[in-house]
Structures are given as structure tokens and as C-alpha cells.
Amino acid sequence: MNRLRLWGYVVLLLVVGLGNLYFVSGWIGARSLAQLDHDLRAAATLLEGRSRLLAADAGALAEAASRSPAVASPDPLSAANDAIRPAAEAMKLDPKALLVGVAGPQGVAIRASGQQVSLPDGAPIVADPQRGVRRDGFARAGDRVWSVAGVPAGRGAAVLVGLPLDVGFVTALRAASGVEATVVVDGKPVATSVRPEAPREIAAAAVQPPRRVADVGRLGPVKGYLSLPAMPLLFTSAPETRAYLVPLEGAPGVVVVLSLAAAPLFVGLATYQVASLIVLAVLLVLGVVLGLLMSDEGGRAIPRELLHAADRVNRGDFKARAPVLAGSAGVLASALNRAAEAASGFWVSEAKPAAKPSAAPVETGTQPIFAPPAPSPAAVMEPEATAAWSASPAEAPAPAALAGASVEPVPSEPVAAPFVAEPKRAPEPEPIPPAPEPAPGVIPELPPPPAAEMTSPAAGPEVSPAGASLAEEEESHWRMVFDDFLRVRGETGEGGAAVSFERFRTRLQKNRDQLIDKYGCRTVRFQVYVKDGKAAVRATPVR
């Protein structure tokens, strides 16, 4: 896997992670708001039930007062208060907080908390009981609200008793439903169970249509579990408080606002989002670091031709050759070809011919036959190849000992540039003095190759059964050398006229024939190298 592929996988994982975070956040946010709405509507149902209980308690007190004969006295309001007090104490109610009223032919008198209270003329809560019909409902006087029950008390008379909707009422409602409650009168909170700084915000939502869910504020950063840092919610929108408005019948301008804070239901979502972002950030950092530490070389695919040639060599077919490639694959292909040649049984000797027979040591080596082109593009590229057998430090081997002499490659620096304007003929073999006794440690001489394996320029192609394969091998080798020569010229940036394969092959064959004729070797192998920044070719005799 290379660097770009790794980074591509990391980006894909980041996109998938963010997509998952987006959809999960939206899904959890919608479910949390739906849960808030469900709890608020359940609390609204509980509010209606508690209102009926208040009305029932108020009706019981009114019934007790209506049966008192003192209600018909000149001071019916005091008589009603005296009749209600024992029952209110039994119900653990504060008689001073109750609304008590008496309606009769002489008029309506209502008192609450020791003060006179007036209700609108013709209010149903007063008119219906005077007509002999019991009536339950809500009554408002100023900024105070009561749950009132009106009970008939004889012909044209009625007794009214009301229980206040105060802090005790909203606190009891909160304990029973788990929902905060606020009594709002004309946009002003008069009784609430929420924190001191929240009633004004909740009262502002009372302007919304009744029996509807309203949002109060916007939810800020939410702190998750596991000591994770608080952060704003992503990919979802949530209010700070969710509210539900319940109007009170018979009390215009009075609304009970049921509310729930949204933050507790979004703690799990906040934890999930923070943990997901931390995981994605760690994944991003690891992907970038591993990508920077990763080498692109390991991610390059091995060419199929190179794998095919390696498979053939692995099966024992040492005639297989890898194609000429560029870059690191070219290095592998060249190494594979050299290994296959070595495994084929070639014994290679690189040497430089001795200038004159002499007892002095003879320097051996190889001479390039192709070198960088001359400055003039029209110059004729005629190579000159020379080679020599390795000799002992004392003197060169005699002709009689040449056939059995061992060939040892001795490296040396290439000689002068081989390009000349005119072709040169191969020099005639010079007499070689007798070979001295081999020094201790010298590799024993090998027997000469069979005469059938030796060829000369005049003899033409070999006629042995292996002749056809040798000719094919020579042609393949020249083609490979030509491809290497062009590749190296391209890498060194050489210009000049192009060299055709036929001309190149003619030069290689000419140099091969000269060396075979001169040294009696089986064949010649050529190698491309760089000399002075230019492409060149050297020849090596092969036994």
C-alpha cells in the first residue's frame, strides 16, 4: 500500500465517520425532542386531573358552607367562613388562603386572604349556581388565580369556594409529573417551580398559541459522561427548554406553562459526538504520520512481464530474460537477467590484450566498444573491441598453454575512447611466450572447450545441435544490449543522431568475430555502462 492509497482510505473513513455522526445526531436529536413532547403532554393530562381534584375539594367546602343556616344571616360571608374553617383544617388547607364568596338577592360578596375580591358581572361561576346549577372553573382577581366551585344555597343564593394556584400547587404538580410548572398571568409569572432566572424566559413563550409546544432559548454546550469536555451539539438543533401551554378556562390571560430542560436528554448524544470526534482526530493524525513514514516504492506494482520471467527462472528455465524496464523495476530486471546468465554456466573473463610479448606483468581488463557520440552528428560510430586472457605477473601464457589456461576477470579502468572515423581491422595475433609455472594459490587451469563449440568469423553459425539455440541467444543478447544502450542514453540525456538496431548489431557482430578469431573464445558478451556521463558498451570474451 502506498502513501496516496493510505491517505485515500483515511479520507474515506473520515467521510464515513462524519456521515455516521451526522445521521446518528439527527436521529437521536429528533427522538430526544419527541420524548420531551411526550412528557409535556403527559404532564398536561396530569394538570387537568389535579385541577379536577382542586375543584372537588373546593366543591366539598362549598357544600359544607351551603348547608349552614347562618348563610342566610345578615352577614352571610362571615357565616360561610366559619362553616368552612373546620373542613379546611381537616383537609390541611389554610383558610386564609381560600377564596370564599356568597351570592344572593342582595348581591355578591367575595373575600380572599382577608381582602375583598370582585369578579366580573355575570361570570358563569356565579350566575349558574344562583340558578341552581353547580359550576366549576377558574377565577382571576388581579394577578391571583383560584380553582373555584360554585354550589347553590337556596333560592337565588350560592356559595363560592376557591383554592389558590400558588407555589404549593406548582410544586405538587412538579413532584407528581417531573415537569416544571409556571402560572403566567398577562405574561407575568406569578407562581413557578423552576430556577429563579428562568421564569421570565418561560413567560415569554406564553404568547404562543395554546395547546402547542414552544421552544425557549437555544441549547448551549453540553457536558457528556466520562469527564469529557462540554461542547455544542453538532448536526442537530435543540432548545434550552421545551414548553407546553395550557390555558385555564374562565380565567382570561392566565396560562399554565409546563416546561422541561432539554440538556439532560442530550447528554448521551454529546458524549457520542465528543468520543467520535476524538476517534476521527486520532485516525487522521495516524493516517498522516503513517503516510509520511511510508515509502512510495513499496506500493508500486511489479510488472507482469518481470513476474513471468522470474517464474520461468524459478522453474529452471535459465534462458528466460526479463524485458528492459525503467526505474527500480529496471534494476530488478537487469539483476534477474544477470542471475539467469550466471546460472546458465557462463564463465566470463574481462581482459585487455597485451600490447607486446614481454616478461613484464600484463594489465588486463575490458575496453569499451561504444562510447558517447562525437561532437559532430555525422561522425561514423565504428567501435574497436580488444580483450585479452589474464596472464601471470611474470609473462603471458604460451600458445600451447592457452587452451588449458583458466580465465579470471581482472577489473581495470577502460582505455581511451573507442570511436574512430574509419573502421579498424582486427590485429593479427602476436606470438605469446611460454607460460610460467602457476604460482601457489592460482586457480588450476581448466581443459580447453571442445572444438565443436568454437566458432570463427569465417566458419559462420555453429552446426552443432545447440547451434540454433546459440544463434537465437546471440540475437536476443544483442537486442537486449541495444535496448539497454537506448535506455542509458535516454537517462543521460544524450542528443545526436539515432542509432538503428541493424547498424548496432553489425558493429557488435564485427567485434564478436574479431575477438573469437583472435582469442578462440566461444562467444562474446557486451555490457552497457556510463563513461564520462555518456552511454558506452564494453566487450567481454566468454569461454
Amino acid at 266: F
9 in any annotated domain: yes
- Percent of the chain residues topping a pLDDT of 90: 10
Can you give the residue range of the structural domain that contains 208? 1-299
325 in any annotated domain: no
pLDDT at 403 over 50: no
Q: Report the 3 state secondary structure along 259-310.
A: EEECHHHHHHHHHHHHHHHHHHHHHHHHHHHHHHHCCHHHHCCCCHHHHHHH
Boundary (domain end) residue, out of 243, 264, 299? 299
Task: Measure Cα distances from 412 to 114, 342, 366, 527 in Å.
Answer: 128, 21, 7, 15
Q: In this predicted structure, which of 50-54, 235-239, 267-271, 416-420 has the lowest mean pLDDT?
A: 416-420
Q: How confident is the model at residue 152 (pLDDT cuts 50, 70, 90)?
A: confident
Nearest to 525 by CA among 363, 346, 326: 346
Task: Measure Cα distances from 119 to 54, 111, 142 in Å.
Answer: 19, 11, 10
Nearest to 161 by CA among 104, 92, 99: 99
pLDDT at 296 over 60: no
Residue bearing the bigger pLDDT, 431 or 47: 47
395 shares its domain with 266:
no
Q: How confident is the model at residue 11 (pLDDT cuts 50, 70, 90)?
A: very high
384 in any annotated domain: yes
pLDDT number for residue 279: 93
pLDDT at 353 over 50: no
Q: In this predicted structure, which of 300-314, 384-398, 421-435 has the lowest mean pLDDT?
A: 384-398
pLDDT number for residue 18: 92
Half-sphere exposure of 524 (CA within 13 A, CB side): 32
58: left (phi over 0), alpha (psi -120 to 50) or beta: alpha
Give the pairing of strands 241-247 and 180-185: unpaired
Boundary (domain end) residue, out of 270, 299, 328? 299
Q: In this predicted structure, which of 68-77, 165-174, 505-514 has the lowest mean pLDDT?
A: 68-77
Cell of 150: 360554585
433 in any annotated domain: no
Q: In this predicted structure, which of 152-156, 262-266, 407-411 has the lowest mean pLDDT?
A: 407-411
Alpha-carbon distance 110 to 103, whole Å? 8
The mean pLDDT value for 396-402 works out to: 36
Alpha-carbon distance 352 to 354, whole Å? 7
471 shares its domain with 536:
yes
- Per-residue pLDDT tens for 444-478? 343 444 433 333 333 344 444 444 577 888 889 98
Alpha-carbon distance 387 to 415, whole Å? 11
Alpha-carbon distance 233 to 268, whole Å? 11
Nearest to 147 by CA among 241, 267, 263, 61: 61
Give Cα 15 distance to the centre of its chain: 6
- Only one residue has cell 458524549, namely 271
pLDDT at 193 over 50: yes
116 in any annotated domain: yes
Residue bearing the bigger pLDDT, 424 or 490: 490
The mean pLDDT value for 430-437 works out to: 45
- Residue pair 482/535 in contact by the 8 Å Cβ criterion: no
pLDDT at 326 over 50: yes
pLDDT number for residue 391: 32
Boundary (domain end) residue, out of 272, 299, 326? 299
263 shares its domain with 360:
no
Alpha-carbon distance 365 to 387, whole Å? 7
413 shares its domain with 509:
yes
356 in any annotated domain: yes
Residue bearing the bigger pLDDT, 24 or 455: 24
- Percent of the chain residues topping a pLDDT of 70: 73
The mean pLDDT value for 176-180 works out to: 89
- Per-residue pLDDT tens for 28-83? 999 999 999 999 999 999 988 888 888 888 888 888 777 777 665 666 777 777 77
pLDDT at 378 over 70: no
The mean pLDDT value for 327-347 works out to: 74
pLDDT at 284 over 90: yes
282 shares its domain with 369:
no
Alpha-carbon distance 23 to 20, whole Å? 5
Share the mean pLDDT of the chain. Answer: 74
269 shares its domain with 135:
yes
DSSP-assigned beta bridge partners for residue 146 = 139, 164
Residue bearing the bigger pLDDT, 207 or 532: 532
pLDDT number for residue 385: 39
316 in any annotated domain: no
Cell of 160: 363560592
538 shares its domain with 424:
yes
φ/ψ (deg, to 5) at 348: -105, 135
Residue bearing the bigger pLDDT, 327 or 263: 263
φ/ψ (deg, to 5) at 403: -65, -30
* Cα-Cα end-to-end distance for the chain: 46
Nearest to 144 by CA among 183, 197, 181, 107: 183
Q: Which DSSP state fits 256?
A: E
Most confident segment among 76-85, 86-95, 299-308, 497-506: 497-506
65: left (phi over 0), alpha (psi -120 to 50) or beta: alpha
Give Cα 272 distance to the centre of its chain: 18
- Per-residue pLDDT tens for 87-126? 777 777 777 778 888 887 777 878 887 677 777 767 788 8
45 shares its domain with 129:
yes
Residue bearing the bigger pLDDT, 390 or 68: 68
pLDDT number for residue 85: 79
Across 353-456, the runs of DSSP E, i.e. the strands, are 368-370
pLDDT number for residue 480: 92
The mean pLDDT value for 254-262 works out to: 89
Global pTM reads 0.52
Alpha-carbon distance 396 to 358, whole Å? 7
Q: What is the DSSP string of 73-125?
A: SS-HHHHHHHHHHHHHHHTT--GGGSEEEEEETTEEEEEETTEE----TT-HH
Q: How confident is the model at residue 496 (pLDDT cuts 50, 70, 90)?
A: low
166 shares its domain with 245:
yes
Q: How confident is the model at residue 295 (pLDDT cuts 50, 70, 90)?
A: low
**Which residues are CB-contacts of 94 (< 8 A; sequence separation ≥ 6)?**
88
The mean pLDDT value for 192-213 works out to: 76
pLDDT at 436 over 50: no
DSSP-assigned beta bridge partners for residue 140 = 145
Counting the structural domains of the chain, the total is: 2
Half-sphere exposure of 406 (CA within 13 A, CB side): 10
Give Cα 102 distance to the centre of its chain: 78
Q: How confident is the model at residue 129 (pLDDT cuts 50, 70, 90)?
A: confident
406 shares its domain with 496:
yes
508 in any annotated domain: yes
222 shares its domain with 279:
yes
pLDDT at 404 over 50: no
The mean pLDDT value for 354-365 works out to: 39
173 shares its domain with 240:
yes
